Structure 1
């Protein structure tokens, strides 16, 4: 964890959240308790801040300071509101291309995806506030700085974001092996949001039920799946190919 993007101590984190700082994630000591810790928990939940419980040993590795059972990371970017992003992209006159990451948890995969998204002209990336990979030093490094060029939205629930996009005239396409439809027979020319799942579980079944279309990549080897950042690159560049085929 980058020390300059770190806050330690219960009171300091409470004040940072209340001051509107872009807190990416908070690590709480699993056996910590007390009135101040209870106040911190209430503050985190009220403001939908992502947090997880970890052993004291992890917190000691994160910082040599007196952390009091709580260490937070400050996001190096400012997140964008979904409604603001969608409206601005539609008003710009271009054909929207969004990317939704459902519970992607690895910071390096996240960074690699952001880099590819920037290279393929993605208008914005949508992630859930809880359970998603942090935007930290590893993310910035593996994105090669692209994280500063692609708007990222944090939403309370992926399903609500999908409903909003659909209501805005944007088709949602899920990348999943649970379909017979190939990516190469799926149209990505119109306004579209591509949905990628987590590294181990894929896309949540409840999300799959509400998407407009599903598509899969053909696999010819013995291994049943691709790394999510590689699969994401294949989907995004198919969108590029379709949209620029007539150029």
Structure 2
């Protein structure tokens, strides 16, 4: 955690990747705002009370958290995957706010062979030491991309020949009877509200996980594991036959 105007300025000037940048609602600092814009860092305006909860020291109205992973460009990952002759396997996360869920998802994604996790610029869990620990170090081995508009990201993936499939309980199509063998990006939504309606309207298909008990939903990290390993299962079938 970095706090104080000068310290945050120097962090921005250094080019370090910043995971979160919080600024007091009433504070105006053109240089911080300009550097944040240049570095593609989203400023989250918050009340003073939130900053005080983060640190009792003199934060001067601004706090940032440096990233524990190096974010990559999605276009570079896709180009590398294509050059190596692999089939794209991408995971998009829409507003997964719980750090432990995010870490568990990253661990499962890495084990399943996902090539990159895409997260939004804001509204996602911080990728911090707790996320790294929960992932059992998987975040050191899987690419993470931060995109500021997931709608644009979905359109880009579709133009790149990658099918985007959303996992939602609103679907009538069973994940186990849907073809997931081609180039694919799976999108999972927030624990509370699921996937944003705007994104649901853009994707190529919706799938659901059948629930046979009395509880109406799975934890998002568990649900992600089910869907990712269904992709793995389907892709392995030709080799088994």
Q: Is 1:192 the equivalent of 2:187?
A: no
Greater displacement, 185-194 / 218-227: 218-227
Where does structure 1 lack aligned partners over 5 or more consecutive residues?
A: 1-5
1:117 shift after superposition: 0.4
| TM-score (normalised: structure 1) | 0.90
Q: Is the 8 A contact 1:49 1:130 kept in 2?
A: no
C-alpha distance in 2 between matches for 1:8 and 1:165:
37
Greater displacement, 217-226 / 109-118: 217-226
C-alpha distance in 2 between matches for 1:171 and 1:75:
30
C-alpha distance in 2 between matches for 1:178 and 1:61:
38
C-alpha distance in 1 between matches for 2:40 and 2:191:
23
Map of 1:3 onto structure 2: none
Where does structure 2 lack aligned partners over 5 or more consecutive residues?
A: none
1:157 shift after superposition: 0.6
Q: Is the 8 A contact 2:15 2:39 kept in 1?
A: no
C-alpha distance in 2 between matches for 1:170 and 1:107:
28
Q: Is 1:76 the equivalent of 2:68?
A: yes
CA RMSD, Structure 1 to Structure 2 (Å):
1.8
Q: Is 1:205 the equivalent of 2:197?
A: yes
Q: Is 1:138 the equivalent of 2:133?
A: no
C-alpha distance in 1 between matches for 2:13 and 2:123:
22
Q: Is the 8 A contact 1:50 1:131 kept in 2?
A: no
Q: Identify which of 11, 14, 20 aligns with 1:19.
A: 14
Greater displacement, 86-95 / 46-55: 46-55
Greater displacement, 70-79 / 40-49: 40-49
C-alpha distance in 1 between matches for 2:54 and 2:155:
38
1:58 shift after superposition: 4.3
C-alpha distance in 1 between matches for 2:71 and 2:230:
27
Q: Is the 8 A contact 2:162 2:184 kept in 1?
A: yes
* Correspondence 1:47-58 to 2 at 5 A: 47-58=39-50
1:181 shift after superposition: 0.4
Map of 1:218 onto structure 2: 210
C-alpha distance in 1 between matches for 2:195 and 2:49:
32
| TM-score (normalised: structure 2) | 0.92
Q: Is 1:94 the equivalent of 2:86?
A: yes
C-alpha distance in 1 between matches for 2:40 and 2:197:
23
1:90 shift after superposition: 1.2
Map of 2:3 onto structure 1: 8
Map of 1:232 onto structure 2: 224
C-alpha distance in 2 between matches for 1:214 and 1:163:
16
The one-character-per-residue Cα deviations of 1:133-161 (angstroms, maximum 9, x if unpaired) are 11111110110110010000011211111
Q: Is 1:28 the equivalent of 2:20?
A: no
SS in 1 for 2:216: coil
